[in-house]
Structure 1
Amino acid sequence: MTVLPFPPPQKWPATLLTGQHHAVCGLGRNGAAVVQALLDMGATVQAWDDSRPELPAPLSSHPRLTLAPLTDLTGMDALILSPGIPHHLPRPHPAALLAREQHVPILSDAELLWQVARKAGSRARFVSITGTNGKSTTTALLTHILTQAGIPACCGGNFGTASLALPALGDDGVYVIEMSSYMLERLKDYHACAAALLNLTPDHLDRHGSMQGYLDAKAHVFDNMTAGDLAILGEKASWADGLHQRLERQGVTVRTLSITQPVPETDAPFLPGQHNAQNIETCRAIARHLGLSEEQIAEGIRSFTGLDHRLQLVAQADGISFINDSKATNAEASYHALKAFPKSLWIAGGMAKEGGIESLAPLFGHVRRAFLIGQDAPLLARTLTAHDVPFEISETLEQATRAAWDHARTHEAMPILLSPACASFDQFRNFEERGTAFATLARSLCGED
């Protein structure tokens, strides 16, 4: 399928926010992008970061930017908190307390993007994707399907580009926004024409207080939806029942998915496993809602090559595949990876989450041998011992990868699966660095360098 190139990315008018005043707390990747975007649209900005109160030149010397602690928010139109900064639990940031005291709304930059688009007169449609796992793949896949069909679309938010840094889209455009629970708590008028809550398992409970608090935060993905909008609930589960009933009362079209089989490899060659079938069906339903044909949807799914660090085939030789699933930083994510491969040599470990890998026990039969790395390798080893799973403690990722390669070559060729079920911070800066190291070594072992 030939896709005509879209025009160069457009910017919002440089005077769109003239006269508005915004406070930005947190100057990491998200916060710095928000500051730049606000200034580009004519706003006045006061920004601060408790640990790194600086921005690169020439942004730092912009005449409408003040870098100073947020001790008075009088006259501010909004406070934009970076997603990782709490406004409620476990302890609200002082800027959030000040905003409440001075009646200044606390917003996410996704809310600002919605406001900016409507203020500029754009009727671009918004799609929101959330869930504990699968958000990024679903967001990227849907965006790929749309662009392959010739629809101007871009994605961002919790995945990739900060929401407010996305290019301006016209009436025919679609924004696909990956929403974290942190972002969803800071919406006001944002209205998605289609939204999905893929799944819900314990995560970020320090920020939300309980599973109910976590569900309440995620449910904001459906805020302001009305008749004619589409809500997707990714699984039949107790958490979904009340939401389904509430949304139907609002007149919203609701679809609850029930996925029992993976999609055939010929239809989705780079999206293995039943969990990806859920992501695919979510995208199909939303793409239909946005007016795409079945042929356009099928072609977009077939041509999607997947995301880095998510069940990504990175090297292959002598019947041995190296699968990079470094994004699996909890047991729930690794559950889907183990389920996708009936037999594998499993590399796991790092900084374990609460509960470790005990919940993976039903799939331990898929593991021919485990190679454990990182600080919590002994913890994982105790679980594997209790379930009679062969393993060895390799300590480092390099040692584990080489040991798994040697085992596959001398015993039986099968996938070598890096799906750690643990955070990476004990040995790497992030899961991306861990996955890249694995891919580099895998290609070297396969002679692909």
Structure 2
Amino acid sequence: MYKLSLSLVTIAVLALAGCHGDDEVQPNAAAPTIASGMFKDSSVSGLTFESGGERGITGADGSFTYEVGNFITFSVGGVILGAGIGAAIMTPVDLITHGSSDSPQVKNIVRFLTMLDSTPPLSDGIQISSAVQAVANSWNPIDFTSIDLDADLASIISDVASVDARTPELLNTEDAKAHLTSTLLCLNSGAFVGTFSGGDQGIIGFYVSSGTDTTYGDYAFTNKTSGINDVYGIAYSTNTNRYARISGDNIKYGTRFIPIGHNDIRRFISGAPDFSDIDGDLVTTAELESTYTGNFTTPNSTSGDWIKRIPFPATSGVFSGARIGGAPDALYRFSAQYFTAADTNHTQDAGLFTFDIDSLGNVSGLVYSIVNNTQESLAGNAVDLGSNGLQITAASGTTITGTIDLSEGKITGGVWDDGLNNGLFNGSGCRLN
């Protein structure tokens, strides 16, 4: 009898425990944050992407969604291109560990993608047709480290030719690198504004050229086309109320200056030459007043360290900045830095222009005065190759004119005038989408 009663009690206790367990509210894992991005080797549409629970096909502009902090994988049917931590802008470089535009694996991915483009030219973006997406489900994986990609892709190229009714072109490795480089140059270019602090403090602005400049430099313009992302800028000290002009001209100043690397680090080194002869030694071009070493941690942000050697003793600190303007879906992106004419003391207005141009030639953008730490909108129009074809007006009434070449990505003969100050400028740009 005692044993029976104990058994009944035990069963009752277990039953109650079970009921309590069913009613207990278990904490839910935090829902992942979803963000959107774009895949660029020019814009690539028709790629399959997967990031956690996010999955789909990239849109006409290369758009995709991803779980923040999670990996995202890109593929075409059975061919996996690679994976990387999701970001607002991703390129073939981001799919390979320590990738760069020189990596054989990266160049082979570019060769594969450009071969799939159903709507040449490549400048209009890479579009993978629905027919190719369908037949790609039967494709086997590709080893992008292969030294004989032509042979490895033979059957795939045959499939593409059949379903797209065209003759696919497989670029050589150097042409593939050139194509990717043009994409990276455009993605990196633009205007960035932030602050610097440490032994001095103030506002800093960077102008990143698109690599298409033909006339730029420090005081005397130098004629060259760089093909690299030189980093220029303005550092305005709120302690001295004076700005320093930052140069990235590695032709004039040699290996002391490094343009943005087309890799996962995106490091650069630029400097402020001692133009104002602060140390009084009558040398104004060979010395560096200060050096700025940093990384573009994303195409939209930068940070790093600075050191000022002149005047002695040296001071140092850190800087950071973020892109201003520059819509990711713009057709064309242009930017420039401006200075007040004959401002030898470096105290008058100086800053950055950045603007987008749509297919109708409408211009919208921003002007940022680094000296005054103010921003205002720009609007106007651009006529390709027209004399003074660039006509822009700022919200305050400042006029900005110049000759613009959309295909070459150049602004020449630029003039700005706010009614009180004025000056000349040249700029660069590119087709982004």
In the superposition, the TM-score normalised over structure 2's length comes to: 0.23
Q: Which has the higher helix share?
A: 1
Q: Highest CA radius of gyration, 1 or 2?
A: 2
